[in-house]
Structure 1
Amino acid sequence: MPEYLDTATLIALARAAEARAPGPCACTKTPLDGWQSQPLSLDETQLREIGTLLHEEDPEPTFAEYLPGKLDYWSAGAPIAPRYFPYNRCGVWECSSCGRLYLRYTEGGGYFVDRRIRALRLALIEDVSL
């Protein structure tokens, strides 16, 4: 299992990644500021998992979401709250081409499985308790 990343480590990784790659990403044609189904334009072989926000000692992470105000799950401005869904089930992945970091998880329903991805943005990380 990938290494668990606490919020402080996630913030440090996001800060370093944004310093390395401050401009727009050319690795995918689809903006990934908010959650998206993983686009076909993103070459998955460029991604390397560097850690997880899924704590191994939490057998059933919450499905509660942290969405203050009028933001919704798909919003590019929605906070990244590692203790809340879906972040508490995410892997943290690095693009080997541009150095940016992405959050990824698999959304499963009764009749579908959807791999979702979102760019990790330092300014949106919020360390809020359940």
Structure 2
Amino acid sequence: MPEYLCAAELIDLARRAETASPAACACTKTSLVGWQSQPVSLDEAQLREIATLLPPDDPEPSFAEYLPGKVKYWSPDAPIAPRYFPYNRCGIWECRHCGRLYLRYTEGGGYFVDRRIRALDSALIEDVPIQD
């Protein structure tokens, strides 16, 4: 079971990975700065789950989204708010070759299942409490 990270731990992990000077890698063939359906060009075996944002004491995290202003879910500058959907259902995955970090979760709809992925960017992480 991957270790749960709070927002502060996530920021620290992301900053460490960003300063590691990653090499050129196949994991960057497609830009993943905003949420994307996982591209077929990304080899699943290249990634390993290293942590989770799914709270261990909350079997059904909130579906509330944090999208301030006119920011959209798919926007590259949308905040990463770990207490909000979809981040509160994400695993943190690391590329085995270059060390880049990604957020991943599975979106399930009435007729589909879609594995989604987004590059982790420490500058976008916001620790925002859930509004009731």
Q: How does the TM-score come out when normalised to structure 1? A: 0.95
Q: Distance in 2 between matches of 1:11 and 1:25?
A: 23
Which residue of the partner structure matches residue 126 of structure 2? Answer: 126
Amino acid at match of 2:75: S
Q: Distance in 1 between matches of 2:22 and 2:70?
A: 28
Contact 2:22 2:98 in 1 (8 A): no
Aligned counterparts, 1:98-113, within 5 A: 98-113=98-113
Which residue of the partner structure matches residue 83 of structure 2? Answer: 83
Aligned counterparts, 1:1-130, within 5 A: 1-21=1-21, 26-130=26-130
Q: Distance in 1 between matches of 2:89 and 2:13?
A: 18
Q: Distance in 2 between matches of 1:28 and 1:126?
A: 24
Identity percentage of aligned residues = 77
Amino acid at match of 2:107: E
Matched residue SS, 1:13: helix
Q: Distance in 1 between matches of 2:81 and 2:45?
A: 27
Two-structure CA RMSD over aligned residues (Å):
1.4
Q: Specify every segment of 5 or more residues in structure 2 that has no aligned partner in the other structure, as ranges.
A: none
Q: Specify every segment of 5 or more residues in structure 1 that has no aligned partner in the other structure, as ranges.
A: none
CA-CA distance at 1:23 after TM superposition = 7.5
Q: Distance in 2 between matches of 1:63 and 1:36?
A: 19
Matched residue SS, 1:10: helix
Q: How many residues align?
A: 130
